[in-house]
Amino acid sequence: MFKDEIERVMHELPYGLYIIGSREETEGKVNGMMADWLMQVSFEPRLVAVAFEGDSHTLANVRERSFFTVNLLSQDEESMDLARRFAQPYSGEKVKGRTGAEATAFHYKLDGLPYDVTDNGCPVLAAAMAWFECQAEEFVPLGDHILVVGRVLGGAVVREAEPLTSTYTGWTYSG
């Protein structure tokens, strides 16, 4: 198979779209990022694994504080708007074509959004259909990403809905 063909195949893999919430240690600001490479990896103990880019601001927060939340979005327009908002990187320089002030701007995506925080300070979006909180147990470098294994501490289904997926949005983050 040619590289282009393998990339096409990888684009066909369906993923859920999740907002990962964290809190900075020094300033205490909450943060959120879009993730789609997430899966449950154990029943007992209940563990999940999430892949982060190595230079992710959220990953830095999780390394500092150990805790993060996973917010599940639903297949509706409000969730699509949130997904678009959180698909933007924390640092503008990651977006091709951004220069100057745009490139060095930092984007606090939770500004103006309603959310609660867990006892460990991580954000739970008011618009989430469900959520859970994890404590990081392991950081595994794999290629150009870091796989974080987290123990699920608690969570809730807020409302019944179909979860937002890459199939629904037509978006891909693969290759």
pLDDT of residue 3: 76
For the stretch 131-149, pLDDT in tens is 999 999 999 999 999 999 9
Q: Determine the Cα–Cα distance for residues 132 and 126; give it in Å rounded to an integer.
A: 13
Q: Determine the Cα–Cα distance for residues 72 and 129; give it in Å rounded to an integer.
A: 6
What burial letters (b/e) apply to 65-94, b meaning 16+ CB within 10 Å? bbbbbbbbbbbeeebbebbebbeebbbbee
Q: Which residues pair with 157 in a beta bridge?
A: 130
pLDDT of residue 139: 99
Q: Which residues pair with 22 in a beta bridge?
A: 31
CA atoms within 13 Å, Cβ hemisphere of 119? 5
pLDDT of residue 47: 99
For the stretch 29-87, pLDDT in tens is 999 999 999 999 999 999 999 999 999 999 999 999 999 999 999 999 999 999 988 88
Count of beta carbons in the 10 Å neighbourhood of residue 106: 10
- Helices and strands (H and E) in the chain: how many: 5, 9
Query: Under CATH, what is the fold of the domain 12-140+149-156?
Result: Pnp Oxidase; Chain A (2.30.110)
Ordered by start, the domain boundaries in the chain are 12-140+149-156
pTM over 0.85: yes
